Amino acid sequence: MKKILALMGSSRINKNTDILLDSMLKGAEDKGYEINKIYISKENISPCKGCNYCGIKGECVINDDMAKIYDYLDNSDIFILAAPLYFNTVNGMTKNLIDRCQRYWSVKYKLGGDYKRNHDRRGIFLAVGGAEYSHDQFSATIPTIDLFFKAINAKYIGNYFVSNTDNISVQERKDIKDEIYEIGYNIDEVENFYIHR
């Protein structure tokens, strides 16, 4: 069975991002997938310092908890990144982890390596925003997530966005939890979805 790596990007455990992610993971778990969930806030992840070691060696020079996450990134098939919207994009803690994936960008775009190029890897992005719905609320996140999934050679399968979480918690929204459970259950079959609730 395929392996799922779930990255939980909010520092608030059991709040909106986490509940949304867990609803998706419950579906995947019921289908039998092996799941590894990382709470980014519990990991010691230093910021990328732009030293360009990875631009030459293809590896990161910093020795911290990213070593474990690189291992999961190397050995998983399906990636779910879940993050809250801060200042119109993913929060800094999530972006910090993405920046540390520069080593994959370097291998792919600079060093010409073939890291996981021909593997069937899939990426799904979940995000919540406290403000009421607006059509471009989440749009600044998409180019970043697109490049992140490209760098790790995962096909960007879909987005699931929830607005207005500062007024109505995801916990109270059974419709959303049911819908995302179904996507989780069918996580290896769903294609090109863009859902905004």
Ligand X SMILES: Cc1cc2nc3c(=O)[nH]c(=O)nc-3n(C[C@H](O)[C@H](O)[C@H](O)COP(=O)(O)O)c2cc1C
Residues near 3 by beta carbon (within 8 Å), at least 6 away in sequence: 33, 34, 35, 36, 75, 76, 77, 78
141 lines the binding site for ligand X (CB under 6 A): no
88 lines the binding site for ligand X (CB under 6 A): yes
In the range 144-163, which residues lie near ligand X by CB under 6 A?
A: none
Q: How far apart are CB 42 and ligand X at their closest, in Å?
A: 15
23 lines the binding site for ligand X (CB under 6 A): no
Among 24, 25, 62, 84, binds ligand X (CB under 6 A): 84
Among 85, 90, 97, 183, binds ligand X (CB under 6 A): 85
Specify the residue, 47 or 50, whose C-beta has the smaller distance to ligand X. 47
Task: Tell me the residue ranges of DSSP E strands in the chain.
Answer: 3-8, 34-39, 78-86, 89-90, 122-128, 155-162, 193-196
Specify the residue, 12 or 174, whose C-beta has the smaller distance to ligand X. 12
Q: How far apart are CB 6 and ligand X at their closest, in Å?
A: 14
Specify the residue, 12 or 117, whose C-beta has the smaller distance to ligand X. 12
Q: How far apart are the first and last CA of the chain?
A: 31
Angle between helices 141-151 and 92-99 (to 10 degrees): 30
Largest CA distance in the chain: 49
CA dist 37 and 103 (Å) reads 22
CA dist 146 and 156 (Å) reads 7
17 lines the binding site for ligand X (CB under 6 A): yes
**Which residues of this protein are in contact with ligand X, per CB under 6 A?**
10, 12, 15-17, 84-88, 128-131, 137, 165-166
